[in-house]
Amino acid sequence: MTPFGEAVRVLRERKGVSQKEMAQALGVTPAYLSALEHGRRGAPTFDMLQRIAGYFNIIWDEADALFAVAGVSHPKITVDTAGLPASYTAFANTLARMIRTLPPDVIEELNTVLKKVEKGR
């Protein structure tokens, strides 16, 4: 599941609607909506994001948060390490190989480190 899929599921459950009901209202198939929620589809288009925000009648801040989480919800990532030191490529490959087996606390540690680096820029 992607962060976006999780956010949509929470909104849908809060509203008390099924995937089928939501899909019909948005003009998409239930299969598409299910794939979106489960991370088997990439982030939706801007148009679809606006339709989803409108469907849930969410306010600006919550809509901005939904749009932001969509931006970090691509389930298949390409990491371009061309031109970087060999250790960067090795790290990216190791992470790709191990990502499914890392426990949640390790993911949190890595996220914490990355956020600190991002803030320092």
In this prediction, residues 51-65 reach a mean pLDDT of: 91
pLDDT in tens, 17-45: 999 999 999 999 999 999 988 988 878 88
CA distances to 1, 96, 119 from 78, in Å = 18, 10, 23
Which pLDDT value is given to residue 90? 95
Q: Are 73 and 62 in contact (CB under 8 A)?
A: no
53 — phi, psi (to 5°)?
A: -60, -40
Confidence category of residue 1, pLDDT binned at 50, 70, 90: confident
Q: Is the pLDDT of residue 82 over 90?
A: yes
Strand locations in the chain, DSSP E? Answer: none
Q: Walk me through the domains of the chain, giving residue ranges and CATH numbers.
A: 3-71 (1.10.260.40), 86-119 (no CATH)
pTM above 0.85, yes or no: no
**Residue 49: is it exposed, middle or buried by C-beta count within 10 angstroms (0-12/13-18/19+)?**
middle
Residue 8 has pLDDT above 90, yes or no: yes
Q: Give residues with Cβ within 8 angstroms of 51, minimum separation 6.
A: 26, 27
Whether pLDDT at 109 is above 90: yes
Q: What is the pLDDT of residues 93-104, one digit of tens each?
A: 999 999 999 999
Tell me how far the alpha carbon of residue 93 is from its chain's centroid: 21
